[in-house]
Amino acid sequence: MEEINLKELFDYFKERSLIMAVIALSVLVIGCAYSIFFKVPLYQSNSTIVLVSDDGSATGQGGYNTTDAQLNKNLVATYSDIIKSRRVLESVIKNLNLDYSYKTLYNNVSVTNTTNTEIIKIAVTDASSELATDIADEIVKVFGEEIKEIYKLQNVSIVDRASKETNPYNINVLKDTVIYLLIGLVLAIGIIFVVYYFDTTIKSAEDVENKLNIPVFGIVPKAKNKIKK
């Protein structure tokens, strides 16, 4: 592999700085135009539920104890899967008369759990802020009803209801600008480096000696000024 002269490489980049700037700015303009004019804005609404003691049990009447806490922690993972189950989501689709398939809604719903807690967060993403809010609330409602039927428990309580978001979560002009600028710079540097690596033209007397293995006895300097007639 041919050794790379770092000084020569730096000078090569310096001479082509304008080309690099054009490439970087082109990527930046195209990327920002896509984000502003073509990227579909998506809104995210969140509902939060917590697992509590069963209202119909003795512990429910006497307060929340460590047995309830351990039971609910064991149920968190199961409940998280049930929330995105066909049984729950298809009921939501039917109740809200959504023009969605189960798979589409499944992909728009995410369920997370704070470690070592009984709190479950349900996030719904949609192109409509209002619809995302309605879906999140309906999922909580249907899920609570299904848990009563499946486990004969009433241990789901709402902490936060979904709220209508006014700003899309997937569009951040400042963040996108920085990302596209970095992508443009990396692309520009990559292109110039590849051109440099495969450039076999003679650039200096040293190149003649290194590549042709013959001594150089003289060079013709570049003319700085044109000869006036």
Q: For residue 39, is it left (φ>0), alpha (ψ between -120 and 50) or beta? A: beta
- pLDDT tens, position by position, 131-154: 999 999 999 999 999 999 988 878
Distance, in Å, from the CA atom of 83 to the CA atom of 205, rounded to the nearest integer, reads: 73
What confidence tier does 196 reach under pLDDT thresholds 50, 70, 90?
Answer: confident
Place 25 in a pLDDT band, splitting at 50, 70 and 90: very high
| pLDDT of residue 206 exceeding 90 | no
Residue type, 111: V
Q: What pLDDT band is residue 51 in, cutting at 50, 70 and 90?
A: confident
Domain extent listing, the chain: 6-38+172-212, 43-160
User: What pLDDT is recorded for position 212?
Assistant: 62
**pLDDT greater at residue 190 or residue 222:** 190
- Mean pLDDT of all residues in the chain? 83
- pLDDT for residue 10: 85
Single out the residue of 158, 126, 124, 133 nearest to residue 143, CA to CA.
158
pLDDT tens, 69-109? 666 677 888 899 999 999 999 999 999 999 999 999 999 99
Query: CA–CA separation, 109 vs 89, rounded Å?
Result: 9
Going by the DSSP 8-state scheme, the letter that residue 23 receives in this structure is: H
Q: Which CATH number fits domain 43-160: 1.10.510, 1.10.3470, 2.60.40, 3.30.70?
A: 3.30.70
What tokens appear for 221 in the block? 């300097």
pTM of the entire predicted model: 0.68
pLDDT band at 59, cuts 50/70/90?
A: very low
**Percent of the chain residues topping a pLDDT of 90:** 49
Q: What pLDDT does residue 118 have?
A: 85
Neighbours of 34 (CB within 10 A): 12
Q: Token digits for 147?
A: 């848990």
